[in-house]
Amino acid sequence: MKMKTKRTLVKAALGREESMDSILIKGWVRTRRDSKGFSFVEVNDGSCLKNIQVIVDATWPDYAKIDEVTTGAAISVTGELAASLGKGQKWEIRASGLEVLGTADSSYPLQKKGHGAEYLREIAHLRPRSNMFGCIFRVRNRLAFAVHNFFQEKEFLYVHTPLITANDCEGAGELFRVSSLDAKSPPLNDAGEVDFGEDFFARPTYLAVSGQLEAEIFATAFSNVYTFGPTFRAENSNTSRHASEFWMIEPEMAFCDLEGNMDLAEEFVKYLIADILKNCQEDLSLFARFVDKGLLNRLQFVVDRPFKRVSYTKAIELLQKSGKKFEFPVDYGANLQSEHERYLAEDHFRCPVTVYDFPKEIKPFYMRSNDDGKTVGAMDLLVPKIGEIVGGSQREERFDVLSENLKHHGLSEKDYWWYLELRKYGTVEHSGFGLGFERMLMFVTGVANIRDVIPFARTPGNAEF
RNA sequence: UGCUCGGUAGCUCAGCGGUAGAGCAGGUGGCUGUUAACCACUUUGUCGCAGGUUCGAAUCCUGCCCGAGCAGCCA
């Protein structure tokens, strides 16, 4: 019986130290170049950016089949892995057999030459086969792995918080309603409004905008926990850095104050960048060449230097003294505008900056009140080019103060009874933050649009794939 | 949602009142090792949609649709 050759991934073949008498590869044709007497076929299977070059000699009995070996076709090649006779690659495969597994005619939308990001977005089912998106999604994979490594090395517990929630969390933002009621004729109450008491969960429910409140439950049992999952916002945002469905990482730590929180955020961001610099060099080199020439220097810079920290009050002073004309006025008590954040990270400090201790009026109910009575222990980590990448706070652990804050924000204690009980039984100082996974990926790859770092982007009016 | 810019060949784009172009892709032929191969020849268009102005509209005007950038909301 003939031994069946096991398939080798292109990445493994290219990384070989020695030649192979017999090799089997499978993948998709990127391009074919014909010469008199033989053809060069470049095959990619997604395992790495590089293709492997296959030589098909015209003396091969089935050489007529070469016409079907077109850009986009899926093929299987057997042959010998040998040192390349040409320049530009170490190894090539001298084919002894070739099978076209799936043809692709000339209507194949992915050509060998430059496509625009917007066009590729319209063919999200094929763009992973392009060089750029191959790199993006390999880095995305590694970044997700690095997230878990970071927290697992620190003994943080990975917790799965619910995606369907009954609290319209923090009273902020637009939520997607989750309902199984008949949209055409929903049950009505006496006032003629939709009666969500009749709905699946016997109350109004939504897709979660954050797992924070539930993460706090676990932090007050396991000390250090993190979530990593999808989250949903129904805001009609049309920008290059907002998506309706995105992934977020939310660590939550008991016995930790705002400073410990900022320390962790900084360490986390640096760890992720260092991991990608180390493990995704080939993919990063493509971004450095075609997307952002300054990428590698900027990433190295961020890993090497400490982040700056300024209080909100100090940040306002800096902005007022900057002499720069802003479209929006810089006033104490107002939110920092994008242009203000950009000035701090890109012009003034020229590095990531953490702004902390914000006025209480512009922040949610759960953030811990500072002793000055005016500010809360909040922090935003701002990064050049992208802006806010992390938002977090120390949480209000004092029952009376939290209860007061709920009232102040017009929220009912009844809806947050379990959240309040965390403060009633064994309450402790605790803190946490949220890091936008796609924003981190944008920073690490230099890709400017969030729609291009998520496999299938959900934005207002778009859910095709 | 507001402001700004854009929609011309399969893709990238030029043309911006005088009747449709280039490069690439595709096709044909050539080339003894190519590297987004090269050389020669060659096919392809409701110029986003609907009105209007004009002798004449891809080009000017209005409305709509779609996309992008920025702002707000945030991660």
Identify whether residues A271 and A347 lie together within a single domain: yes
Residue A29 approaches strand B within 7 Å at CB = no
Position A194 in a domain: no
3-state helix, strand, coil in chain A (%, to 5): 35, 25, 40
Indicate if CB(A88) is under 7 A from strand B. yes
Domain termination site, one of A48, A68, A102 = A102
Question: Of A102, A119, A136, which one is at a domain's C-terminal end?
Answer: A102
CATH number at residue A73: 2.40.50.140
A365-403: burial string, b at 16+ Cβ within 10 Å, e else:
bbbbbbeeeebbbbbbbbbbebbbbbebbbbbbeeeebb
Residues A18 and A145 both lie in one domain? no
Q: Per the domain annotation, does A195 fall within a domain?
A: no
**Residues spanned by the domain of A146:** 128-173+209-452
- End-to-end CA gap in chain A: 45
Residues A98, A363: Cα–Cα separation, whole Å: 63
CATH number at residue A233: 3.30.930.10
CA angle A188/A194/A195 to nearest 5° reads 70
What is the Cα–Cα distance from A302 to A446, expressed in whole angstroms? 14
Shortest-distance nucleotide from A120 CA to C1': B11
The answer to whether position A83 is within a domain reads yes
Single-letter amino acid, residue A6: K
A291 CA vs B3 C1’ separation (Å): 28
Q: For the sheet containing A157-158, what is the strand order?
A: A157-158, A224-232, A245-254, A430-436, A387-395, A375-383, A353-359, A308-311
Distance, angstroms, CA A459 to C1' B39? 47
Examine residue A188 and state whether it is found in any structural domain, yes or no: no
Summarize pLDDT for A115-159 with one digit per residue, the tens.
Answer: 888 899 999 999 999 999 999 999 999 999 999 999 999 999 999
How many structural domains is chain A composed of? 2
Q: What is the pLDDT of residue A173?
A: 63
Residue nearest to nucleotide B70 (CA to C1'): A239
Strand B contacted by A342 CB (< 7 A)? yes
Domain boundary among A49, A84, A102: A102
Residues A232 and A313 in one domain: yes
Question: In this structure, are A373 and A448 located in the same domain?
Answer: yes
A64 and A166 together in one domain: no
Whether CB of A121 is under 7 Å from strand B: the answer is: yes
The answer to whether the beta carbon of residue A118 comes closer than 7 angstroms to any atom of strand B is: yes
The answer to the question of residue A406 being in a domain is yes
Q: What angle do CA A100, A45, A444 make, to 5 degrees?
A: 155
List residues bridging with A7 in a β-sheet.
A24
- A253 and A219 in contact (C-beta within 8 Å)? yes
CA A279 / C1′ B14 distance in Å: 43
Retrieve residue A421's tokens.
Answer: 């009980």
Q: Is A115 (CB) below 7 Å from strand B? A: yes
Which segments in chain A show pLDDT lower than 50? 171
One domain for residues A315 and A429: yes
Q: A184 in a domain, yes or no?
A: no
**Is the Cβ atom of A454 within 7 Å of strand B at any atom?**
no
Nearest DNA or RNA nucleotide to A436 (CA to C1'): B75
Are residues A137 and A272 part of one domain? yes
Same domain, A138 and A30: no
- Both A141 and A86 in one domain: the answer is no
For residue range A288-304, what is the model confidence (pLDDT) as tens digits? 988 888 899 999 999 99
- Does residue A182 lie within any of the structural domains? no
Give me the CA A87–C1' B57 separation in Å, rounded: 54
Express as a percent the part of chain A with pLDDT over 90.
Answer: 77
A149 in the same domain as A40: no
A458 in any annotated domain: no
Q: Do A152 and A214 fall into the same domain?
A: yes
Q: What pLDDT shows up at residue A34?
A: 87
A96 with A23, same domain? Answer: yes
pLDDT confidence of residue A170:
53
